[in-house]
Amino acid sequence: MTAFAAAPFDVAAVRRDFPILSRPVAGGRPLVYLDNAATAHKPRAVIDKLVECYTEYNANVHRGVHPLHERVTAELEEARGKIARFIGAREFDPYEELSEIVFTSGTTMAINLVAHSWGRKFLKPGDEILVSVLEHHANLVPWQQAAQATGATLRYCPLTADGQLDLSRLEEVLTRRTRLVAVTGMSNVLGTLPPVETLVQRAHDVGALVLLDGAQSVPHRPVNVRQLGVDFLAFSGHKLYGPTGIGVLYGRLELLEAMDPFLTGGNMIDEVFLDRSTFKRPPFRFEAGTLPIAQAIGLGAAVDYVRALGLETIARHEHQLLAECHARLSQLEGVTIHGPDVPAKGAIVSFTVEGIHAHDLGTKLAQQGVAIRAGHHCAMPLHAWLNVDATARVSFAVYNTREEIDILVDALEAARRTFRRGHRA
Omega of the bond prior to 283 within 30 degrees of 0, cis? yes
Q: How far apart are CA 35 and CA 375, in angstroms?
A: 12
Known active-site residue 378: yes
Nearest by Cα to 351 from 184, 190, 159 = 190
Nearest by Cα to 184 from 134, 248, 128 = 134
DSSP E strands in 218-365: the ranges are: 232-236, 247-251, 269-272, 277-279, 335-338, 348-353
Q: Are 340 and 383 in contact (CB under 8 A)?
A: no
**CB contact burial 334-351 (16+ within 10 A = b; e otherwise):** ebebbbbebebbbbbbbb
Q: How far apart are CA 372 and CA 354, in angstroms?
A: 17
Read off the DSSP letter of residue 344.
G
Which of these is catalytic: 53, 157, 325, 378? 378
Q: Please compute, for residue 193, the number of CA atoms within 13 A of its CA located in the half-sphere on the CB side.
A: 18
Catalytic site positions: 378
